[in-house]
């Protein structure tokens, strides 16, 4: 792996992680922490944004960017921003506490809404590319 790619992915991941921490905290403080709403919002938002960016900057996209720029954004920013590992840990904690309905709801909402998010982002990107 090239040094340049490692640097841009590392910087992007750091920025994405800070954005994740900030947005998740705002959502949790606004709605409450009895359900991992902050993580859900981050994952859905990240799914939408990665779908949009990948479509708009892909081979058939309207915006031409360098491979390094795509690395900065896709595995860097969006990889650092989305929180699937946090989702997994929070779902496990809910299950271990016997909160099976909340754990199942978190799994279902995350799966469906993130897939809808990535589809919507890709559709929006296809529309932008017209």
Per-residue model confidence (pLDDT) at position 77: 96
- Taking the C-alpha atoms of residue 83 and residue 43, their distance in angstroms, rounded to an integer, is 6
Residue whose tokens read 């997994």: 88
- DSSP designation for 99: -
66-102 burial: b if 16+ Cβ within 10 Å, else e:
eeebbbbbbbbbbbbbbbeebbeebbeebeeeebeeb
Per-residue model confidence (pLDDT) at position 85: 80
Residues (pLDDT < 50) of the chain are none
The first and second tokens of residue 60, run together, are 């058939």
Per-residue model confidence (pLDDT) at position 60: 87
The 10s digit of each residue's pLDDT in 37-63 is 999 999 999 999 999 999 999 888 999
Cβ contacts of residue 64 below 8 Å, gap of 6+? 57
């Amino acid at each position: 792996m090239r040094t340049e790619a490692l640097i841009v992915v590392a910087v992007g991941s750091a920025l994405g992680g800070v954005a994740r921490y900030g947005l998740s905290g705002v959502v949790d403080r606004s709605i409450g922490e009895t359900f991992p709403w902050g993580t859900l919002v981050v994952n859905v938002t990240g799914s939408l944004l990665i779908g949009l960016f990948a479509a708009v900057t892909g081979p058939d996209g309207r915006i031409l960017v360098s491979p390094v720029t795509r690395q900065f954004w896709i595995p860097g920013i969006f990889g650092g921003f989305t929180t699937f590992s946090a989702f997994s840990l929070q779902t496990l904690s809910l299950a271990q506490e016997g909160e099976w309905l909340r754990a199942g709801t978190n799994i279902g909402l995350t799966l469906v809404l993130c897939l809808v998010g990535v589809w919507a982002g890709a559709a929006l990107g296809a529309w932008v590319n017209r």
